Amino acid sequence: DTAVSQTPKYLVTQMGNDKSIKCEQNLGHDTMYWYKQDSKKFLKIMFSYNNKELIINETVPNRFSPKSPDKAHLNLHINSLELGDSAVYFCASSQEVFTNEQFFGPGTRLTVL
Partner 1 sequence: LAKTTQPISMDSYEGQEVNITCSHNNIATNDYITWYQQFPSQGPRFIIQGYKTKVTNEVASLFIPADRKSSTLSLPRVSLSDTAVYYCLVGDNYGGATNKLIFGTGTLLAVQP
Using the rule CB under 8 A, which residue among 76, 90, 110, 112 binds partner 1? 90
Task: Of 104, 95, 107, 101, give the one whose Cα is nearest residue 31.
Answer: 95
8 Å CB contact between 3 and 25: yes
Partners of 76 in the beta sheet?
21, 66
Region of 11-19, 21-29, 73-81, 90-98 interacting with partner 1 (CB under 8 A): 90-98
Provide the terminal-to-terminal Cα distance of the chain, rounded to the nearest Å. Answer: 34
* Dist. CA 98–CA 63, nearest whole Å: 26
Q: Is 60 in the site for partner 1 (CB under 8 A)?
A: no
* Dist. CA 54–CA 74, nearest whole Å: 11
Q: Is 78 in the site for partner 1 (CB under 8 A)?
A: no
Q: Is 103 in the site for partner 1 (CB under 8 A)?
A: yes
Region of 16-24, 62-70, 74-82, 91-99 interacting with partner 1 (CB under 8 A): 91-99
Region of 11-19, 21-29, 54-62, 77-85 interacting with partner 1 (CB under 8 A): 54-62
For the chain, how long is the longest CA-to-CA vector? 39
Query: Which residues of the chain form contacts with partner 1 (CB under 8 A)?
Result: 4, 33, 35, 41-45, 48, 55-56, 58, 90, 92, 97-107
